[in-house]
Structure 1
Amino acid sequence: MKETVLDVLMYLLENYQEGEFADADNQDTLHEELVAAGFPEEEVRQAFRWLDGLAAQRQLPIVFGPSGALRLYAREEMAKISAECRGFLMYLEQLGILDGTLREVVIDRLMALREEIDLERVKWVCLLVLMNQPDAEEAFGHLEEMVYYHGEFKH
């Protein structure tokens, strides 16, 4: 089976504490462990680049318009992120799990993946993004419950 960047990220999320893979000093050790666990070298490197991109998003002072503003997707985003996935992101916003800023981070990280995007991948990327936010423990818990225990998203 061909392992993807998201498979590596999901493995990290499920098996390590955030501090373990967010810390640059730990990345060499984790890199070796992931390759030893059977993940392809290139996918592991891409996963750490993806995480670096996520960390860089936290540094940007992003300000968006009023809450409830309509998000228009670019053609490239619409081609990669299906209507079902876009609907799920809107659903998370309506529930208060994502705000406009976090939605944009999720979209950016989805676009950074070189693989096909489906609803399961969107859920995992949302979890990874929320886990990287210092004040999003409650939102992370709600989404984690949805991903692990509620099964499929119903519109």
Structure 2
Amino acid sequence: MFEIIMYLFESYMQIDQSTEIDAQEITDELLEEGFQKNDISKALAWLDNLTSLHEQNPESKTQLAKETSHRIYSAAEQHRISCDGQGFISYLNQADILNTHTQEVVIDCVMSLDVDELTLSDLKWLILMVLFNDPNSEDAFMQLESMLLDFEDGLIH
């Protein structure tokens, strides 16, 4: 399922977000690429869930955290998100790339994936997708995208 989400993100990232994309066309394209219909349905449902998470009022789910607060992960979250992943999320929060709401959206999205554990690399892409799909996180998206591309190019020391 995550492979499908990544494929869609890479394929449709350059398309204007206001452009309507037909789910049946996407499904047909993914079937042609060799993905299974059940996995496609799960991936599209995951993307719909991501959209609905962004539409929620941040205060309806979480209170704004103080700068000195620290997110405690549940046992299930700790199993799914490695220590490195938790540290990366914390770093992005401290760097003001993630706020309390987007951090919770990221964690919800990780927990709704059909995987046992997400690699740090996959988590970085997932966070990029979350920020890309949030109209209020354009600057944060550009910061993280730049950071990840610089890291891949070996520019971060």
Q: TM-score, normalised by structure 2?
A: 0.85
Say whether the 8 Å CA contact 1:130–1:139 is kept in structure 2: yes
Residue 64 of structure 2 corresponds to residue 65 of structure 1: yes
Shift of 1:34: 1.1
Residue 17 of structure 2 aligns to which amino acid in structure 1?
G
Residue 140 of structure 2 corresponds to residue 139 of structure 1: yes
Residue 95 of structure 2 aligns to which amino acid in structure 1?
L
Structure 2 distance, partners of 1:31, 1:52, is 14
Residue equivalent to 1:8? 4
- Does the residue aligned with 1:96 lie in a helix, a strand or coil? coil
Residue equivalent to 1:37? 33
- 1:19-66 CA deviation, whole Å, 9 max, x = no partner? 38x84x611111111111122222211110100111111222222233
Task: Show structure 2 runs of 5+ residues with no match.
Answer: none
Structure 2 distance, partners of 1:29, 1:19, is 17
- Does the residue aligned with 1:19 lie in a helix, a strand or coil? coil
RMSD, aligned CA: 2.0
Over the matched positions of the two proteins, sequence identity in percent amounts to 33
Q: TM-score, normalised by structure 1?
A: 0.86
Residue 23 of structure 2 corresponds to residue 27 of structure 1: yes
Change (3 A) 1:29 1:62: same
Residue equivalent to 2:150? 149
Structure 1 distance, partners of 2:32, 2:16, is 20
- Does the residue aligned with 2:22 lie in a helix, a strand or coil? helix
Structure 2 distance, partners of 1:15, 1:55, is 18
Shift of 1:131: 0.8
Residue equivalent to 1:93? 93
Residue 129 of structure 1 aligns to which amino acid in structure 2?
V
- 1:81-110 CA deviation, whole Å, 9 max, x = no partner? 111100000011111110010000000000
